């Protein structure tokens, strides 16, 4: 079979789609014939040799495809259409997938649509619910609304919780997409101070939950944007990691819960439980199109270098996919 | 009736036990004949005019006594022995207490013992369970183990959760009390670096939960002391509020949940629910002496100035009480 490796740690030019051995299955793993996979930031770190998340030399962490071998697992049959996270190896014709992370693809979705779901939706679901404890009708501030996780979070917060969704993005084009997905308040962070807009839109009360991909450069403004008893989940530091002079009494006065998280390094058991909970709560909503994967562009797997360059240009809205079959 | 006021904002010399009007009951309040009350840090702030938590000019926030008027409330009868938090007015012969914050005093306890329970035990319970989500057999690091909240937290963590309790204090005398209460690992922070001791005692894994009364001066060491997926509850800033540099990526790497809290400003509804949950889980344990209030000294109410000076000298282990009747 063929799979994508980085010949040397480096730029997109190092990516090559080459002949590789088929994966050897461990107990509890299914063999998946891959139809589509997706590009993630972690794939770029992996290509550059900066992330050792997977021992697998083949890049990629999510796929949609068909079960080719059940390996004794009784919950799936050969031919089942499944999607899910894998421990590396996704940019390939075949991949091993832990069976407890496989989700049946809702009937109405194509493989490309399905491959756009696992990473961003599981991250958004985990952040909103397992960590952020979002409750019905609460107010949530979702930064980077046009990103993969942002577009998933907007939809989940609206469809599962009827939340009031405030979102930020850097272009009006991205904000229009957020609006179509259901966001209630659109803030262009280049033309407005987002904390003032949040205050206006919440009757000066602030947001019950903040999804923070930005970190240091937004610290003060996020503090001003959060409500008393608010939850603040930190899932990225695109705006820097180091905050100067943090006043702990401020966190006490507003009784804030600040949670840092990363999904990829979590245990297999955690990912399996998250997958199960997510699948139960969203499968029907994907099937009836209430929830939709947001796709930016589909590249053939042979054009993987182009796909990586496209992500690194930061112009995508939603997911960048690779079609394998 | 008589009650303690501050004649002017200032030192203990401003306290006077003087003739005052009896409290006027609002709907939902009981009239309590006070037998004992306790000294809290917030009383000192109130005396100094730095805290406006209560409109009541009479100082004090917790009592043990007898129901003198039920005011139509059916859950209590005249003569019931109760303890609980009040909205100011505790240093007096009579006080109004919201009925949904009153707890029946376990039979085997005296009024003085009961008056030592509400504030520190409710704070410790809220911090360990409602915010810190302590689970059975987990490891908890309790700073200021000799303080009122510290002594309560050590006992709750042992009796309710069979936790492994690591505690810090500044004298060996305080650590001996912590040991008697059940603490497993005793750390004198003046003669040892507590983070190194925590690492040693946890097989380098760190504590699942930290109760932090200290804040800025312990920030780095608390970070080194916490486990992956640890919860860190910030309930005081005795060591300063401002941390010079916080690295958000550190919080993400360890997936830390940092929660700031204050109990006194919370809503009446919150305090009522907390009281109910606490009472259900601990009442029998107080009655059979598995849980014990830790009393430093009992002063007659007329010596309230002495009692405040004693607290301000920071030498007490456990609660300082005032006997009213």
Reported as a single tens digit per residue, the pLDDT across A264-295 is 788 889 999 999 999 999 999 999 999 999 99
pLDDT digits (tens, 9 = 90+) for A171-182: 999 999 999 999
Q: Which of B215, B246, B257 sits opposite A259 (nearest CB)?
A: B257
Report d(CA A59, CA A10) in Å as an integer: 13
Contact: B252, A262; criterion CB under 8 Å = yes
Half-sphere exposure of B264 (CA within 13 A, CB side): 18
**Spatial CB neighbours of A79, under 8 Å, sequence gap ≥ 6:** A66, A67
pLDDT band at A53 (very low <50, low <70, confident <90, very high): low
Q: How confident is the model at residue A316 (pLDDT cuts 50, 70, 90)?
A: confident
Q: Does A237 touch chain B (CB under 8 A)?
A: yes
Q: Does A1 touch chain B (CB under 8 A)?
A: no
Alpha carbon distance A98, A105 (integer Å)? 16
Contact between chains at B251 and A260 (C-beta distance less than 8 A): yes
Cβ pairs A/B, distance under 8 A: 94
Residue of A nearest to B262 (CA): A252
pLDDT tens digits along B135-154: 999 999 999 999 899 999 99
**The two structure tokens encoding residue B60:** 């004090």
Q: Which residue's entry shows tokens 């962490």? A: A61
Greater model confidence, B81 or A56: B81
Q: Do A255 and B260 touch (CB under 8 A)?
A: yes
Quote the minimal CA–CA distance from B255 to chain A in Å: 5
Residues A129-159: pLDDT tens digits?
999 999 999 999 999 999 899 999 999 999 9
Confidence band of B55 (pLDDT split at 50, 70, 90): confident
Shortest CA gap A235–chain B (Å): 7
Chain B residue whose CA is closest to A234: B252
| Residue B180 at interface with chain A, using a CB cutoff of 8 Å | no
Beta strands B257-260; B319-323: pairing state: unpaired
> With an 8 Å Cβ cutoff, are A257 and B258 in contact?
yes
Task: Assess whether pLDDT exceeds 80 at residue A233.
Answer: yes
Q: Does residue B56 register a pLDDT over 90?
A: no
Mean per-residue pLDDT, B191-208:
96
Whether A52 has its CB under 8 Å from any CB of chain B: the answer is no
Which structural domains are found in chain A, ordered by start?
2-117+267-323 (3.90.180.10), 120-260 (3.40.50.720)
Q: CB distance from A45 to chain B under 8 Å?
A: no
Question: Alpha-carbon distance B304 to B306, whole Å?
Answer: 5
Report residue A55's pLDDT band, with 50, 70 and 90 as the boundaries: confident
Q: Please report the ipTM that was assigned to this predicted complex.
A: 0.86
Across chain B, mean pLDDT equals 95
The better pLDDT of the pair B174, A50 is held by B174
Alpha-carbon distances, residue A170 vs A124, A140, A188, A236, B290 (angstroms): 20, 18, 5, 17, 59
B118-125 and B148-161 helices, crossing angle to 10°: 50
Q: Classify residue A182 by burial, with Cβ atoms within 10 Å: 0-12, 13-18, 19+.
A: middle
Per-residue confidence band for B265, with pLDDT thresholds at 50, 70 and 90: confident
A253–B247 C-beta distance less than 8 A: no
List chain A residues with CB under 8 Å of B131.
257
Q: Give me the residue from A216, A245, A251 closest to B260, CB to CB.
A: A251
Question: Which residue in chain A has the smallest CA separation from B216?
Answer: A248
Q: Can you tell me the mean pLDDT for B294-314?
A: 95
B contact test, residue of A252, A262, A265 with most B CBs within 10 A: A252
Average pLDDT over residues B307-325: 93
Q: Please indicate if any CB of chain A lies within 8 Å of the CB of B216.
A: yes
Gap between the Cα atoms of A236 and B41, Å rounded: 39
Q: How far apart are CA A42 and CA A264, in angstroms?
A: 9
Q: Does A258 touch chain B (CB under 8 A)?
A: yes
Closest by CA position to A320, among listed A131, A37, A10, A31: A37
Query: For residue range B74-130, what is the model confidence (pLDDT) as tens digits?
Result: 999 999 999 999 999 999 999 999 999 999 999 999 999 999 999 999 999 999 999
- A41: contact with B, CB 8 A cutoff: no
Q: Under an 8 A CB cutoff, do A248 and B256 touch?
A: no
Gap between the Cα atoms of B63 and B3, Å rounded: 13
Residue A262 to residue B184: CA distance in whole angstroms: 32
Contact B255 A260 (CB under 8 A): yes
Q: Does the CB of B237 have a partner CB in chain A at under 8 Å?
A: yes
Q: At what angle do helices A118-125 and A268-287 cross, to 10 degrees?
A: 100
Q: Tokens for A311? A: 């992500």
Confirm or reject contact between B267 and chain A (CB < 8 A). Answer: no
Q: Is B242 on the interface with A (CB under 8 A)?
A: yes
Question: Are B64 and B105 within 8 A, CB to CB?
Answer: yes
Least confident of A2-6, A224-228, B259-263: B259-263
The long-range contacts involving B180-188, CB below 8 angstroms and separated by at least 24 positions, are B181/B151, B181/B154, B181/B155, B181/B292, B181/B294, B182/B154, B182/B155, B182/B158, B183/B142, B183/B145, B183/B154, B183/B158, B186/B145
B56: left (phi over 0), alpha (psi -120 to 50) or beta: beta
Band of residue A84 on the pLDDT scale cut at 50, 70, 90: very high
Residue B51 touches partner A, C-beta closer than 8 Å: no
Taking the Cβ of residue B255 and every Cβ of chain A, the question of whether any pair is shorter than 8 Å is answered with yes
Top pLDDT among A216 and B316 is at A216
Residue carrying structure tokens 């010079």: B244
Go through chain B and tell me how many residues it has.
325
Residue of chain A minimizing CA distance to B131: A257
Q: What is the pLDDT of residue B262?
A: 87
The pLDDT of residue A54 is: 61
Please answer whether residues B166 and B201 qualify as being in contact, where contact means their C-beta atoms are separated by less than 8 angstroms. Answer: yes
Mean pLDDT of B222-237: 96
As a whole number, mean pLDDT of residues A204-223 equals: 96
Cβ neighbours of B242 in A, within 8 Å: 245-248
Determine the distance in angstroms separating the CA of B254 from the nearest CA of chain A, rounded to an integer.
Answer: 8
Tell me the C-alpha distance between B174 and B172, whole Å.
5
Q: Can you spell out the DSSP letters for A160-181?
A: HH--EEEEEESSHHHHHHHHHH
B257 φ/ψ sector (left φ>0, alpha ψ -120 to 50, else beta): beta
In angstroms, the separation between the Cα of residue A73 and the nearest Cα of chain B is 31
| H runs (alpha helix) in chain A | 41-47, 111-115, 118-125, 148-161, 172-181, 194-201, 219-225, 248-253, 268-287, 304-312
pLDDT value of residue B53: 55
B290 reaches A (C-beta below 8 A): no
Give pLDDT, residue A135: 97
Distance CA B124, CA B172 (A): 22
Per CB-CB distance under 8 Å, the chain B contacts of A253 are 260, 262
Tell if the CB–CB gap between B249 and A241 is shorter than 8 Å: yes
Say whether residue B297 is in contact with chain A using an 8 A CB cutoff: no
Which DSSP helix (H) or strand (E) runs through B303? Answer: none
pLDDT at B52 (0 to 100) = 61
CB spacing of A258 vs B245 below 8 angstroms: no
């Amino acid at each position: 079979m063929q799979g994508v490796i980085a010949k040397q740690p480096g730029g997109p030019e190092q990516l090559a789609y080459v002949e590789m051995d088929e994966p050897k299955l461990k107990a509890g793993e299914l063999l998946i014939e891959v139809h589509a996979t997706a590009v993630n930031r972690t794939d770029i770190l992996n290509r550059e040799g900066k992330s050792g998340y997977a021992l697998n030399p083949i890049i990629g962490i999510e796929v949609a495809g068909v079960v080719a071998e059940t390996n004794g697992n009784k919950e799936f049959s050969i031919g089942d259409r499944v999607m899910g996270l894998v421990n590396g190896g996704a940019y390939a014709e075949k991949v091993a997938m832990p069976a407890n992370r496989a989700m049946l693809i809702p009937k109405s979705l194509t493989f490309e649509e399905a491959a756009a779901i696992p990473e961003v939706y599981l991250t958004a679901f985990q952040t909103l619910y397992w960590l952020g404890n979002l409750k019905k009708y609460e107010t949530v501030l979702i930064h980077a609304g046009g990103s993969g996780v942002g577009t998933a979070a907007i939809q989940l917060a609206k469809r599962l919780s009827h939340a009031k969704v405030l979102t930020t993005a850097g272009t009006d084009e991205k904000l229009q997409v957020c609006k179509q997905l259901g966001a209630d308040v659109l803030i262009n962070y280049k033309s407005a101070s987002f904390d003032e807009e949040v205050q206006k839109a919440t009757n000066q009360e602030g947001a019950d939950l903040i999804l923070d991909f930005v970190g240091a450069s937004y610290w003060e403004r996020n503090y001003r944007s959060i409500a008393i008893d608010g939850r603040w989940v930190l899932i990225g530091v695109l705006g820097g990691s180091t905050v100067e002079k943090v006043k702990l009494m401020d966190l006490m006065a507003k009784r804030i819960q600040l949670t840092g998280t990363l999904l990829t390094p979590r245990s297999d058991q955690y990912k399996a439980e998250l997958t199960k909970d997510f699948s139960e709560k969203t499968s029907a909503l994907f099937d009836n199109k209430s929830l939709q994967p947001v796709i930016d562009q589909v590249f053939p797997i042979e054009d993987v270098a182009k796909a990586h360059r496209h992500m690194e240009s930061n112009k995508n809205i939603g997911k960048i996919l690779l079609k394998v079959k």
